[in-house]
Amino acid sequence: MTSDKDAILAELENGVKGLQQEVAVEAARKALAAGMNPVEAIENGLAKGIREVGEKFAKKEMFVVELIYAAEIMSSAIQVLEPEMKRLSAQRNVVGRMVLGTVAGDIHDIGKNLVRIMLEASGFEVRDLGKDAPTDSFVSAAKEMGADILGASSLMTTTVDVQKEVVNALRDASIEAPLLVGGAAVTEEWAKEIGAHYSSDANNATVMAKQLIGKGG
Ligand code: B1M
């Protein structure tokens, strides 16, 4: 049984890093058929593959077009897993309202989309600003929807500073809702330094978000 699971995780990882869309998508279907938790399939399979692609890209062993294709493959496999993610943590009552986006200058949105899926599944109404979201849009969306909490994702060392701009813009607009930050370039120390709250992954983001709005268990 464990070896079946390991084989599926390896196929998920290899489908992404080997740029084989059918392998990754088929492995996602197999993961569901085998009763695997979709979050585990993403974290221990697909995400391992895409991070390896990122390392190869950094070492100039892969081209940007391959990076783009690997990201597309990952997204299409996530689409297969998404309904089960939602079903597993489905909750009817709205626990809170959240504005979420990838900061200006940054177009990475796979992780942010996972965070949105998990938040929605655990009862949050989410206003998704998408990627490369202007700092002002965090403020205007928070006012419009009466957000209880905001979230800003950033994947690059060159765009983490923009999270600080979001903190400042919220403060200038007298918005007191907490800001959750995450993404590969973000650390707990950075979050503390800018007066935000850190979350390491999509699962943890839902736990943190609930705690921050006083709905944590
Ligand atoms: Co690019 N990229 N990329 N990229 N990319 C990185 C980030 C990089 C580290 C790769 C590398 O060189 N090793 C590097 C940044 C280096 C740096 O920091 N300075 C890099 C670069 C340089 C670039 C370009 C500049 C490349 C170029 O064009 N020359 C360009 C950026 C353009 C721009 O943004 N202005 C670029 C483009 C792209 C693609 C479009 C091809 C694609 C993104 C597609 C997409 O997102 N739709 C891409 C990808 C795929 C990556 C890597 C390989 C993988 C990112 C990913 O999807 N991971 C990445 C390498 C890496 O991260 N190690 C890399 C999987 C995902 C599930 O994890 O996003 O970390 P992650 O999300 C996690 C947690 O971080 C957390 O939860 C998620 C799930 O558990 N989380 C949050 C995320 N957001 C959160 C928010 C929260 C809480 C938790 O609260 C609000």
* Mean pLDDT on 32-51: 92
- Residue 148 in contact with ligand 1 by CB distance below 6 A: no
pLDDT for position 178: 98
Assess contact for 108 and 156: CB atoms under 8 A: yes
Nearest CA owner, ligand 1 atom 14: 156
Distance 62 CA to ligand 1 centre (A): 15
Model pLDDT, residue 190: 98
Q: Is the pLDDT of residue 89 over 90?
A: no
Confidence band for 2, pLDDT divided at 50, 70 and 90: low
User: Averaged over 76-89, what is the pLDDT?
Assistant: 88
Residue in 147, 34, 32 with CA at minimum distance from that of residue 100: 147
Helix residue spans in the chain (DSSP H): 2-17, 21-33, 38-41, 47-58, 64-88, 110-121, 135-145, 160-172, 188-194, 202-212
Contacts 24+ apart (CB under 8 A), 197-202: 199/115, 201/43, 202/39, 202/111, 202/114, 202/115, 202/117, 202/118
Q: How far is the CA of 200 from the centre of ligand 1 (A)?
A: 14
In a 13 Å sphere around the CA of 19, the CA atoms on its Cβ side amount to 11
